[in-house]
Copies of this chain bind each other. A is one copy, B any other.
Amino acid sequence: MRQVFHDELEQVSTDLVELAHLVGSAIRRSTSALLDADVQLAEQVIEADQEIDGRRNQLDLKSIDLLARQAPVASDLRAVVTSMRMSSDLERMGDLARHVAKVARLRYPESAVPDEMRASFLQMGHVAERIVAKVADILVSQSLQGARAIEEIDDELDELHRSMFARLADSRWEHGSSAAVDVALLSRYYERFGDHAVTVARRVRFLVTGEIDGVDDEEVDVDDGV
C-alpha cells in the first residue's frame, strides 16, 4: 500500500515538473512575442495555456483520487496537499505568461514596449526563464539551497520591476499614458511570475523542514509603487 502510494506520489511530482517545463516554454515564447510583436507566437502562447490548465486539472484529480484511495496522514498527507497547491502556483505562472502574450497581441502590429525599454524586458524575460527552470529543479531535488536561489533570482526581478516603475514616474516619460499602462502591467506580470516561483520554493522548504512560515501565496509581494 505504502509503496503504491509513493509510486503515485512520484508520478505527481513528475507531472509537476512537466508543468514547470510548459510554463518555462510559455514565458520564453511570450517574451519573444512581446519583443518581436509576433502575433502568431502570441496566439500560440494563449492557445497553449489551455494545455497547462488541462494538465493542472488532471493532476488535481489524480491527487484527490490519491487522497480518497490511500487516506494518507502526516507527512504523506502534507505532500499531496502541497502538490495540489504547487500545481495551482504553476498554473498561475502560465496565466501570467498568457497575460504578457495578450498585451503583445493587443498592440500588434505595434510593439507594446517602447524601444528604450526593450533591453529591460528582455532581461526580465531571461530572469523569469531562469526562475522557472530552477523551480523544475527543486521539485525533484527538494534542495533547500535551490529554494534559496529562487528567492535570490526573485530579488533580481523585483529590482527590475522597481526600476521600471521609477522610469514611469519620471516626468521625462514621453510615450504617453497608454504605453505607461502597458509597461506597468507587463512589468507587474513578470514580477508576479517570480512571486509564484518563490511560493513554490517556500512550499518545498515546508515539505522538507515542516516549517509553515511564509508559505502564504501573496506575502512575497513587492510594492508596485516603489
Chain B, residue nearest A84 (CB): B81
Which of A70-78, A115-123, A150-158 sits within the interface? A70-78
Which of B169, B177, B221 meets A169, CB within 8 Å? B177
Which of B92, B181, B219, B223 meets A106, CB within 8 Å? B223
> Which residues of B sit under 8 angstroms from A95, Cβ to Cβ?
217-218, 221
The verdict on A102 contacting chain B, using a C-beta distance below 8 Å, is yes
> Which residues of B sit under 8 angstroms from A81, Cβ to Cβ?
64, 67, 84
Alpha-carbon distance A185/B185, docked complex (angstroms):
7
Alpha-carbon distance A181/B179, docked complex (angstroms):
10
> Which residues of B sit under 8 angstroms from A162, Cβ to Cβ?
none
The verdict on A57 contacting chain B, using a C-beta distance below 8 Å, is yes
Alpha-carbon distance A7/B180, docked complex (angstroms):
52
Chain B, residue nearest A94 (CB): B218
Please give the residue numbers on chain A whose beta carbons come within 8 Å of chain B beta carbons, in ascending order. 53, 56-57, 64, 67-68, 71, 73-74, 77-78, 81, 84, 88, 91-92, 95, 99, 102-103, 106-107, 165, 168-169, 171, 173, 175-178, 180-182, 184-185, 188, 212, 216-219, 221, 223-226
Chain B, residue nearest A212 (CB): B57
**Are A218 and B57 closer than 8 Å at their CB atoms?**
no
**Are A68 and B77 closer than 8 Å at their CB atoms?**
yes
10 residue pairs from A and B, CB less than 8 Å apart: A57-B216, A68-B77, A71-B71, A81-B84, A95-B217, A102-B224, A169-B177, A169-B181, A181-B181, A182-B225
Alpha-carbon distance A53/B218, docked complex (angstroms):
9
Alpha-carbon distance A111/B129, docked complex (angstroms):
37
Chain B, residue nearest A96 (CB): B218
A14 to chain B minimum Cβ distance, whole angstroms, is 22
A94 to chain B minimum Cβ distance, whole angstroms, is 9
